[in-house]
Amino acid sequence: MNVALELAHITKRFDATEILHGVDLSIRQGERHALIGPNGAGKSTLFDLISGRVKATSGVIKLKGVDVTGVPAHRLGRVGLARSFQSTSLFTGLTVFDNIRCAVLGSRSALFRDRWVRSASIDRDVECVLDSTGLSTRRDELAASLSYAEQRALDLGIALSTGADVLLLDEPTAGMNRAEAARALALIRETTQSKTLLIVEHDMEAVFALADRISVLVQGRIIATGTPADIAADPAVRSAYLGETP
């Protein structure tokens, strides 16, 4: 079994407050792994650490066996990791096509520095992403004029454009109605086949339908990892987390 992402004894302190207390987490290559837990548990902080936006206080992060602890976000793309952000990552004054083209070009310049890349091959990749995210008909619209759900699809497209095979998605359906969320999750399921996915999602129905395995983070500690059936049956999870949901 190959491990795509491995966290060993990760702690994070902000000033005097420790938010993560020795997190161990192992994500298998090709699996869809959901990270769940109550508000303030530290899920986004953990994503910030993995994606190089914030440095861990201690511990080690390995991506496909390579130690990437402390590697900044802009260099992690080269090792195959992408994170989707909220709409802040979009160039709202550019078209959908150009947003994706920028992401494809950015990843190519990292991979083929100093080499000339034919623009026809770039455009083919852009078309592919437009197709897979269902945004082909919106290609000439400005990103600013898309609906919120379409902006999130574009955001996912940008993450996919990097060619990364490990994707981190933090609450990709936040702010969507049920129909939009269902479509977004179907899109995530389709576009992440054969990739490794770590997803934070509050919609438990969605999590249990999408994830191969689930880890539960409560107050900065992983209290359980297992299949959806394991997690649903785990008494510690039920009392610490699932029992709390309204």
For binding to ligand ATP (CB under 6 A), which residues are involved?
Answer: 14, 19, 37, 39-45
Contact (Cβ atoms closer than 8 angstroms) between residue 135 and residue 157: yes
3-state secondary structure of 27: strand
Residue 237 has phi, psi (to 5 degrees) of -65, -45
Contact (Cβ atoms closer than 8 angstroms) between residue 187 and residue 133: yes
Nearer to ligand ATP, 36 or 129 (CB): 36
Minimum separation from the CB atom of position 61 to ligand ATP (A)? 16
Q: Which residue is nearest to Mg ion (CB)?
A: 44
Binding partner of residue 232 among Mg ion, ligand ATP, none, CB cut-off 5 to 8 Å per kind: none
Minimum separation from the CB atom of position 35 to ligand ATP (A)? 9
Whole-angstrom Cα distance, residue 130 to residue 134? 6
Binding partner of residue 45 among ligand ATP, Mg ion, none, CB cut-off 5 to 8 Å per kind: ligand ATP
Binding partner of residue 37 among ligand ATP, Mg ion, none, CB cut-off 5 to 8 Å per kind: ligand ATP
Q: What sign does the CA torsion over 158, 195, 184, 133 have?
A: positive
Binding partner of residue 133 among Mg ion, ligand ATP, none, CB cut-off 5 to 8 Å per kind: none
Binding partner of residue 11 among ligand ATP, Mg ion, none, CB cut-off 5 to 8 Å per kind: none
Minimum separation from the CB atom of position 170 to ligand ATP (A)? 7
Nearer to Mg ion, 5 or 169 (CB): 169
Question: Please, what is the end-to-end C-alpha distance for the chain in angstroms?
Answer: 38
Token pair for residue 37?
């837990």
Residue with tokens 């190519």: 108
Chain contacts with Mg ion (rule: CB under 5 A): 43-44
Nearer to Mg ion, 82 or 146 (CB): 82
Q: What sign does the CA torsion over 104, 5, 220, 218 have?
A: positive
